[in-house]
Chain A
Amino acid sequence: MGKGARVYHLSRYWIETAFPFLTSSNYRITSPESPDYNCIAWAAGTDDRWWWPDSQYTAYWPDGVPREETLRAFIQAYSRAGYVPCDTSDFESGSEKIAIYTDENGKPTHAARQTQAGRWTSKLGHQEDIEHDRPDNLTGSYYGAVAIIMKRPCPCQPPV
């Protein structure tokens, strides 16, 4: 048994244990694990830093956005990147959507981004990136539920 195969198998086991709505048929691992960025950065389209509004200033947070763990602050952070709230997570050609998750107290926990294939990509903590079918594949005790969907014109589309 190669080490890579063993690690891959263990990762799938851990992921499916933590997120019971993920099954072998609705997600795939798309990157090695990395401590260098988190889901909030990944949803914003970057993979070079960890985004979080922590009070000790150990993570990146956009200048001018309140450094507080509230949905309002996260919406404001993504607004800086051109996202606006929208009603549905359904795929729309020419738009890029993100989903922000919150726990039962309304505290943000996770963010996912829709790909141009209509699936969703998530970075799981300091573990791997995964691609999954729907935002609600990740609901549960770790990330709570989707609180808001936002969208912006897809950066890959030429302006009309």
Chain B
Amino acid sequence: MRRYEATREILNAISDELVVCNIGHPSQEIFQLKDRPENFYMFGSMGLSSSIGLGVAMAQDRKVIALDGDGSVTMNMGTLATIGLVRPKNYMLIIIDNKAYGSTGFQRSFTADNLRLEEVATASGVENVVVITEHDEIESTIARLLKADGPHVVVVKCEPGMPDGIGVIPIDGMEVRNRFMDAAKSGA
């Protein structure tokens, strides 16, 4: 299982949640699999998906999912400390851990060796930390967790690599922003 297959299962589990999508290939895959106004695609600021999602969650009551990667969370590991401090009930951080920096050419990342982000999340004060390794457990696990109060940190372990034919996102930043802001407002 690669990130693409894991992402497809995750997206099957969501309904009206606001979703912050990590920069690069992850956003491109999500756009291709299930574009919707509730998706905020990052075109820059690597590392900040979990933080943007945390801000959206703290600012309003609707459920928020930050879809992030192991390399990005490692770049901004303080985010786990802040999530463990604030603990918003409406927040889920999903870390797709493919042990690589995929968007920059699949260089080996820190989780390929000693780093265990799920342990950092637990040590930061997040009580609901779940690790998923099996493809056929992703959709049901995420759907179940979304029914319960968070915060949740979910680590989905997968392999590096991505399918051919994933293209750049054809809408620009202001359109991404404006339709997300409208969607966030309309659900409030």
**Bind each other:** no
